[in-house]
Amino acid sequence: MNIFLLLTIAMLMIILMLRRHIPIGPCMLTSGIFIWLMKAPELPYLVQALRETLTMPRTYDILFALYFVMCLEIELRTSGALAGMVQALQRIFSSAKVTLAVMPAFLGLLPSLGGARFSAPIVEEASKNLPIEQDHKAAINFWFRHIFEFSSPIIPGMIMACNIAGVSYGEFILHLAWLTVLAFSAGWFVLIRPIKADSSTEAVSENSNGNQDLWLALSPVIITFILVVFCGFNASAGMGLVTACLFLVLRFTKREVGLKDVVIGALDIKMFLNVLCILYFIQILNVTHVLQEIVAAFQSSPLPVPVIIACVSFIIGVLTGMSQGHVAIVMPIVAAMQTGSLNLAGVAMAFGIAGQMLTPTHMCLVITVDYFKANFFKTLKPVLLCEIIILTIFTAYTYFTW
C-alpha cells in the first residue's frame, strides 16, 4: 500500500475514534497496530517497538517529570500559593487576559513536557471569572506554552537543529525569533482578544501574602530551569528535587500539605497509559521504517527543495509530535542538500513545529485536553487558525527574501 494512503487511513481512524470519545492513547495504539499490519505484520516488530519504548530513558524521564509536576501542582494548590500567585500577577498586569497569555509562555521556557501540566492550573485559576469554555482554556494553555519553540536556545529540538544543519545558534535564533513575536500576536488575536472581560471581572482583591505566593509558585520553575540547563539534570530529576524541597519549604512556612495527598493524588494512571501508548506508536513507526519511507518518497520527487523540506517536516512533525522527532529526521536532509543554510533550516523548523502543534501525538496537547476535560477538536480549531496565520506569513516572507 502507498505510504501516504496508509498514513491517511491511519489518521482517519484516529479522528473517527476520537469523535467517539475513545481516549487518545488507545486511538494512537490502534492506528499504530493497523500500520504494522499493513507494513510489516510480523510479531518481532511489535515486540521490538515495545521493548524500545519500555527501555528508553526518555520514556521514564517523561513519566516521572509529569508525576512530579502534578505533585508540585497539588502542593501549590492546596497550600493556597497558586491562587495567591495568580492574584499577584493580575495586580501586576492589571489584567487576567495578560496573565492567561504570559504565564504559559513563561513556563514554556522550561524544556520539560511536564510544563503543560504545570501551566494548566494557572490558566484555570486566572480564567475562573472569565466567560470562556474549557476548550478555549485548553487552547490558550497549549498555544502560548509553545511560542518559544522558534527562539529558545535550550529547547532540545533547537539544539539538535543547529548542530545537525550546521548553523550557528545565534544566527538561527535571530533568523526565527520574529516567529515567536508572530506566534504571540496570532495567539492574542485568535484566543485572547475575543474574551469579554469587564471591569468587575478584572478586579483583584488584595492579599497580604501575595509576594510570598508569587515566589513560592515561580521559584520551582526558575530553579528547575537552572538545574536542567546549567547543572545537567534531566527533567524528572530536576522536578523531583524541586518538588521535595518545596514540600519542606511549605512546612517551614506553616503551609503544611499532606504527604499522602500529594503522593497519591498525582497518580493519574489514565494519563500515564495514554503517554505510553503514544510513545509505543512512535516506536512502531520507527521499527517498521515508515518515517524513512516518507523521506525517501519526497527525496525522489521533482518538487523544489524547500517544498520537499516543508512537506517532510510537517508530516514527520504530525507523526512524532515532538521537535526532536522532526529535527532528527529532516535536518540531516537539510545538511545534505545545503549545509549551513539558514533559510532551508528555517523552513524545516517552522513547518515541523506546525506539524507537532496539530497532532494527537503531541504530549502537551494530550495533557492539556485531559486536564481541562476539553474536546480535542474544539481545542485544536483555534490552534489550526494560528498556524495558518504563521505559515502564510512565514512562507510569503521566506519566498520574497530567499
The string of pLDDT tens digits covering residues 193-247 is: 999 865 444 445 555 566 788 888 788 878 887 887 688 788 788 889 999 999 9
Closest residue by Cα to residue 337 from 304, 377, 380: 304
Spatial distance between the Cα atoms of 293 and 286, rounded to a whole number of angstroms: 10
| 3-class SS of residue 278 | helix
Least Cα distance to 116 among 142, 152, 81 occurs for 142
Q: What pLDDT, on a 0 to 100 scale, did the predictor assign at position 200? A: 45
pLDDT of residue 181: 97
Q: What is the pLDDT of residue 84?
A: 83
Using 70 as the pLDDT threshold, list the residues of the chain that sit under it: 110-115, 154, 197-210, 229
Angle between the 57-79 and 235-252 helix axes, to the nearest 10 degrees? 20
Nearest to 261 by CA among 117, 125, 120, 75: 75
Percent helix, strand and coil across the chain, each rounded to 5?
Answer: 80, 0, 20
Name residue 110's amino acid.
Answer: L
DSSP for residue 209: T
Alpha helices, DSSP H, located in 300-322: 305-320
Would you say 120 and 149 are in contact if contact means Cβ atoms under 8 Å apart? Answer: no
CA-CA distance, 94 to 90, in Å (whole number)?
5
Q: What is the pLDDT at residue 348?
A: 95
How confident is the model at residue 111, as a pLDDT?
Answer: 56
Whole-angstrom distance, CA of residue 121 vs CA of residue 101: 13
CB atoms near residue 58 (< 10 Å):
14
**C-alpha dihedral, 251 to 253 to 254 to 256, nearest 10°:** -30
Q: Give the Cβ contact number of residue 305 at 10 Å.
A: 15
Burial of 136 (0-12, 13-18, 19+ CB in 10 A): buried
Residue carrying the nine cell digits 528535587: 241
